[in-house]
Amino acid sequence: MQEEKERAVVRLLRDAGCTQEAAEQCLRLQAAGEVQAVCRLLARQRMGLLESLHAQQKQLERLDFVIFMFRKKGRFDPEA
C-alpha cells in the first residue's frame, strides 16, 4: 500500500514537471520529516517552470507580432 502511494506521488510530481530524481528526493526528504526541505525543492522546481513559461510567452508575443505584420502589410520587414 505504501509503495502504491509513493508511486502516485512520484507520478504526480513527474506530471507537474519534476524530474524523476527530484520526485524521489522529495520522497526521501518527506520520509526523513524534512518538510521545509521538500517545500524548498518544490519551490525551485516551480521557479524553473515559471521561467520557462515566461520565455515561451515572449516567443509567442514575437510570433504574434510577425503574424500581425504579415496580415497588415502582406510581408514582414524587420527594418521597418
What are 60-73's pLDDT values in tens digits? 999 999 999 999 98
Q: Does 25 fall in a domain?
A: yes
Is 79 among the domain residues?
no
The verdict on residue 41 lying in a domain is yes
pLDDT of residue 80: 59
Cell of 69: 505584420
Environment class of residue 72 by beta-carbon count within 10 Å: exposed (0-12), middle (13-18) or buried (19+)?
A: exposed
- Which run of H or of E encompasses 31? helix 20-31
Strand, helix or coil for residue 78: coil
Domain span holding position 31: 2-73
54 falls within a domain: yes
pTM over 0.85: no
Q: Residue 38's closest CA among 61, 18, 60, 64? A: 18
Residue 38: what are its φ and ψ, rounded to 5°?
Answer: -60, -45
Instruction: Tell me how many domains the chain contains.
Output: 1
Residue 16 falls inside a structural domain:
yes
- pLDDT value for 44: 96
In a domain, 80, yes or no: no
**Residue 78 domain-assigned?**
no
